[in-house]
A and B are shown apart, each in its own frame.
Chain A
Amino acid sequence: QQPVQSPQAVILREGEDAVINCSSSKALYSVHWYRQKHGEAPVFLMILLKGGEQKGHDKISASFNEKKQQSSLYLTASQLSYSGTYFCGTEIQAGANNLFFGTGTRLTVIP
Chain B
Amino acid sequence: DVKVTQSSRYLVKRTGEKVFLECVQDMDHENMFWYRQDPGLGLRLIYFSYDVKMKEKGDIPEGYSVSREKKERFSLILESASTNQTSMYLCASTPGGAGAIYGYTFGSGTRLTVV
Contact = CB atoms under 8 A, between A and B. Distances in A.
Interface residues of A, number: 29
Interface string B76-115: 0000000000000010001011111111111111000000
A104 B42 contact: yes
Interface string B49-86: 01000001011000000000000000000000000000
B45 to A, nearest CB: 6
Interface stretch (A11-19, A39-47, A75-83): A39-47
A47 B109 contact: no
A33 to B, nearest CB: 9
Interface residues of B, number: 31
Given A87-B43, A101-B43, A103-B41, A41 B107 contact: yes
Nearest to B107: A41
Nearest to B96: A97
A70 B98 CA distance: 22
Contact of A40 (B50, B99, B108): B108
A44 B33 contact: no
Given A41-B108, A104-B42, A98 B58 contact: yes
Contacts of B90: 41-42
A43 B41 CA distance: 18
A44 B42 contact: no
B100 A91 contact: yes
A49 B56 CA distance: 24
Interface of A: 1-2, 29-30, 32, 34, 40-47, 49, 87, 89, 91, 94-104
The 5 closest A-B pairs by CB, nearest first: A44-B103, A97-B99, A103-B42, A41-B106, A101-B43
